[in-house]
A and B are shown apart, each in its own frame.
Chain A
Amino acid sequence: MAKFSKHGKKGVPALSTASLPDIVFMILFFFMVSTSMRQTDRLVVVKVPEATEIAKLERKDLAAYIFVGTPVANKQAQVGTDARIQLNDSFKTVADIRDFIAAERETKSEVDRQFMTVSIKADVNVRMGIITDIKQELRRTSALKIMYNARRGEPVNN
């Protein structure tokens, strides 16, 4: 049974895993730097439109987010499939935007308040009616700096 004898068998030398932690740490740091903490649970499905002339938001910490879109599948039984507004962690109406903006202003420091940008993240398929209502409400609360969130890409016309 020399064929199966373990003596003299030249095995593959064990792969050194000593540098594995370093590699993993490298990936870890990459993700820590390039991503940001998720702040809210999404209750609405938002697929932002594509545009070519987008500008990056300079101060992410000075942004307030308004999400507009169809509710996620497991919420549709309660709230229907119509486009809804999400502020923080719940469904809200246009009338609640005033309080939301006031609360967001409070969280920013005095000097930065005037630079607060309201980022409207709306789904491609929502109608302008709801967006117009939001815009009018924002004008009423004098939150005039807004941004229509968009992805970089060739616009699609459908």
Chain B
Amino acid sequence: MARPVQEINAGSMADIAFLLLIFFLMVTTMDVEAGLQRRLPPMPDENQKQDDVQINRRNILVVRINSLDVLLAGGQIMDVSQLKDKAKEFLTNPANLETLPDRKDKMIEGFGNFAVSEGVISLQNDRGTSYNAYIQVQNELVKAVNEIRDEFAMKNFGKVYIALDEDRQRIVREAIPQNISEADPKETGKK
């Protein structure tokens, strides 16, 4: 006859679990890795002669933030809250104005021809600009592009951009490119 197996006392299980819990609370962080993703332009080759790519004036929206965090977009001083509408107007050019960017027909695979805006937003900042102001401006510009993408996606696919499948997202991305260029730093406002 087998001896009955002695039962293990599980009373301290809670204590052990608490120890582990507290250990994990101490050594881990809950940071979410999120933010504004950007792609920097590659460094121009020094040996290569730099040919000036002349982009038509109407195709550039210059957004400047000076060292006092004052925003200048397309020659007008404005508040950050106005920037989104300005950028949207610039990128969509609803009235086909001469002063706003040109559109060029482009063949998009799986969609057909679409008049893609040639507008580029050039973001310039000063060394004394605060990071917060810079991120706010970046955020507004990304928001403008995202809203145009949503409108495009809504019109053509009946869904917002984020709800589309991979292939349609690519179509939207190609139709509404995110052309935000971060200019080479200029030595301005130096003391």
Contact = CB atoms under 8 A, between A and B. Distances in A.
A48 B35 contact: yes
Contacts of A63: 33
Interface residues of B, number: 48
Nearest to B137: A155
Given A51-B35, A63-B33, A146 B40 contact: yes
Contact of A132 (B11, B37, B41, B125): B125
A56 B36 CA distance: 9
Given A53-B143, A148-B135, A135 B40 contact: yes
A17 B28 CA distance: 28
A122 B80 contact: no
Contacts, number: 160
B128 A129 contact: yes
Given A32-B24, A128-B127, A150 B39 contact: no
Contacts of B164: none
Contacts of A38: 27-29
Interface in A121-135: 122-129, 131-132, 135
Contact of A24 (B18, B34, B129): B18
A24 B21 contact: yes
B33 A149 contact: yes
Interface in B136-151: 136, 138-139, 142-143, 146
Interface in B1-47: 10-11, 13-14, 16-18, 20-21, 24-25, 27-43
A88 interface: no
Nearest to A21: B13
A152 B128 contact: no
Measured as residues with beta carbon below 8 angstroms from the partner, the interface class of chain A is: 35 or more
Interface of B is mostly: mixed
Interface string A134-151: 011011101011111111
B34 A54 contact: yes
B40 A144 contact: yes
A125 B105 CA distance: 43
Contacts of A122: 131
Nearest to A18: B10
Contacts of A35: 24, 28-30
A119 B33 contact: yes
Contacts of A60: 33
Given A24-B14, A63-B33, A128-B130, 6 more contacts: A21-B16, A35-B24, A37-B28, A55-B34, A56-B34, A128-B126
20 contacts: A17-B11, A48-B35, A51-B138, A52-B139, A53-B139, A54-B34, A57-B37, A125-B130, A127-B128, A127-B131, A132-B127, A138-B40, A144-B39, A145-B39, A146-B39, A147-B36, A150-B34, A150-B35, A156-B132, A157-B80
